[in-house]
């Protein structure tokens, strides 16, 4: 078979603008101030975020130019390959054609650097000196650490206790890039002290770590907060994934009808799907957009759509979203990036409007498929990404049952080389 394995774009074809879906959707319900319940004004967010990022959060411009400094740094690993998963197709004996966008080639092993670079950039040009953030599995913390090292900013990362213990090498990655890493909850913040007093042996959660990082940002001079998912501006930055993929499908002479991503807060799924979804919003039918979440943290399939906080202490604005409740403590699954109680506002609205759909998948099915993928495609996927692969396998097997051709695109959001303890547990039957 003369199948082209991968489709590569040259450096100069890195997109020059991000796609903003807010230009093509009815206005979202506004974020609300947690104290007054009034809509949040952009200036309310200035203690937390750089102004350039706040502007993007509220923008309804369809195309937002990518600053040249950011495009230059994107060249370190972008454009990422679009790969035909021919090995997986063969193993499944499916009539479906399967492609994946390989975001695992970034230096930190995931898509998170796509938004870490612009977030660090806008803070830098506004004179901010320090960034505070949280991290679950450590992917976001690593991405922000490398972005800060490029722009000469200090970083403080509050890392969810469970991941701090489960994934010790992520901590070393962050430290290598110069970040300070603190297990959360910690005694450094009032919020952390309160969580520890209530639950001394807690595994921590992203919600708690966000409270700590926000508190640090607003109580330390020259410091802002950054968030690696959920926000509109993060979805915006991540659209570079789908925009590149669309050009690569032109090279392949093919086009996807089924688009799949795993779902934590929605950024890698938004990144791969929104550039295609823009054609659906403009009237083109026939896409199936599938968000694959963990059944250990099923906000999309079991949560409710309502206003909720982004963090556990209730410091962040109220966001209209699918949520399990900001005090929810997810199961101790290995896919740390999927252990978040809520979903970003854009993706929540699209789910509510039935423009996208969601499936929840058990950890066991995900690791089985992760191992199959490693053996037929050569890449050990991040535990998060195995959810996208598992949803892909289900769709490919359905295509086989129905004797139907289908073109599936999924996002390989990251590799699992720093998650080998999870694979070890699975292989030893101790998951």
The binding site for ligand PLP (CB under 6 A) comprises 110, 112, 137, 139-140, 229, 262-269, 337-338, 382, 384-385, 413-414
Instruction: Please tell me whether the peptide bond between 79 and the residue prior to it is cis, using omega within 30 degrees of 0.
Output: yes
Nearest distance from C-beta of residue 275 to ligand PLP, angstroms: 15
* Residue-wise DSSP of 158-221: EEEHHHHHH-HHHHHHHHHTT-EEEEES-SSSHHHHHHHHH-TT----HHHHHHHHHHHHHHST
Nearest distance from C-beta of residue 263 to ligand PLP, angstroms: 5
**Parallel, antiparallel, or unpaired: how do β-strands 407-412 and 97-102 relate?**
parallel
Q: Which is nearer to ligand PLP, 184 or 229 (CB)?
A: 229
**SS3 track for 282-323:** CCCCCCEEEEEEECCCCHHHHCEEEEEECCCCCCCCEEEEEE
Q: Which is nearer to ligand PLP, 181 or 399 (CB)?
A: 181
Q: Which is nearer to ligand PLP, 329 or 384 (CB)?
A: 384
Nearest distance from C-beta of residue 344 to ligand PLP, angstroms: 8
Q: Which is nearer to ligand PLP, 192 or 265 (CB)?
A: 265
Nearest distance from C-beta of residue 163 to ligand PLP, angstroms: 11
Nearest distance from C-beta of residue 194 to ligand PLP, angstroms: 26
How remote is the C-alpha of 70 from its chain's centroid? 19
Among 266, 275, 260, which Cα is nearest to 297's?
Answer: 266
8: CB partners within 8 A, 6+ apart? 79, 81, 248
326: CB partners within 8 A, 6+ apart? 207, 308, 309, 310, 311, 312, 314, 341, 342
Nearest distance from C-beta of residue 175 to ligand PLP, angstroms: 18
Among 164, 130, 157, 162, which Cα is nearest to 143's?
Answer: 157
Q: Which is nearer to ligand PLP, 310 or 406 (CB)?
A: 310
Distance, in Å, from the CA atom of 309 to the CA atom of 421, rounded to the nearest integer, reads 32
Nearest distance from C-beta of residue 413 to ligand PLP, angstroms: 3
Q: Which is nearer to ligand PLP, 20 or 110 (CB)?
A: 110
Nearest distance from C-beta of residue 106 to ligand PLP, angstroms: 10
Q: Which is nearer to ligand PLP, 71 or 299 (CB)?
A: 299
Distance, in Å, from the CA atom of 302 to the CA atom of 295, rounded to the nearest integer, reads 9
Among left, alpha and beta (phi > 0; psi -120 to 50; other), residue 166 is alpha
Q: Which is nearer to ligand PLP, 94 or 266 (CB)?
A: 266
357: CB partners within 8 A, 6+ apart? 288, 289, 290, 291, 351
Q: Which is nearer to ligand PLP, 229 or 232 (CB)?
A: 229
Nearest distance from C-beta of residue 264 to ligand PLP, angstroms: 3
Distance, in Å, from the CA atom of 237 to the CA atom of 117, rounded to the nearest integer, reads 9
């Amino acid at each position: 078979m003369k199948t082209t394995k991968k489709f590569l774009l040259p450096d100069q074809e890195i997109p020059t603008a991000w796609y903003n879906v807010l230009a093509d959707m009815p206005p979202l319900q506004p974020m609300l101030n947690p104290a007054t319940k009034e809509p949040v004004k952009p200036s309310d967010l200035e203690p937390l975020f750089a102004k350039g990022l706040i502007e993007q959060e509220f923008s309804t411009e369809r195309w937002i130019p990518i600053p040249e400094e950011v495009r230059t740094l994107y060249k370190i690993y972008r454009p990422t390959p679009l790969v035909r998963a021919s090995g997986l197709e063969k193993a499944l004996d499916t009539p479906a054609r399967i492609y994946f966008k390989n975001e695992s080639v970034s230096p930190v092993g995931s898509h998170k650097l796509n938004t870490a670079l612009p977030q660090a950039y806008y803070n830098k040009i506004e004179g901010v000196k320090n960034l505070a953030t949280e991290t679950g599995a450590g992917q976001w913390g690593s991405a922000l650490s490398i972005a800060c090292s490029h722009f000469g900013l200090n970083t403080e990362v509050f890392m969810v206790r469970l991941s701090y213990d489960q994934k010790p090498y992520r901590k070393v990655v962050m430290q290598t890039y110069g970040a300070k890493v603190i297990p959360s909850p910690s005694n450094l913040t009032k919020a952390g002290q309160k969580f520890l007093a209530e639950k001394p042996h807690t595994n921590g959660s992203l919600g708690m770590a966000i409270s700590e990082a926000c508190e640090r940002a607003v109580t330390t001079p020259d410091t802002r907060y950054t968030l690696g998912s959920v926000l509109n501006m993060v979805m915006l930055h991540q659209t570079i994934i789908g925009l590149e993929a669309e050009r690569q499908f032109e090279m392949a002479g093919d086009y996807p009808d089924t688009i799949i991503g795993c779902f934590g807060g929605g950024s890698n799924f938004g990144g791969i799907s929104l550039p295609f979804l823009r054609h659906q919003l403009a009237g083109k039918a026939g896409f199936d957009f599938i968000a694959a979440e963990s059944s250990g943290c099923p906000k999309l399939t079991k949560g409710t759509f309502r206003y909720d906080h982004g963090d556990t202490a209730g410091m962040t604005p109220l966001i209209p979203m699918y949520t399990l409740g900001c005090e929810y403590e997810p199961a101790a699954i290995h896919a740390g990036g999927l252990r978040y109680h809520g979903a970003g506002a854009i993706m929540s609205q699209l789910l509510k409007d039935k423009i996208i759909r969601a499936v929840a998948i058990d950890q066991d099915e995900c690791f089985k498929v992760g191992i199959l993928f490693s053996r037929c495609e050569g890449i050990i996927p991040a535990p998060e990404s195995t959810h996208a692969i598992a949803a892909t396998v289900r769709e490919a097997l359905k295509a086989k049952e129905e004797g139907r051709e289908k073109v599936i695109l999924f996002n390989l959001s990251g590799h699992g080389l720093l998650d080998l303890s999870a694979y070890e547990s699975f292989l030893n039957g101790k998951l």
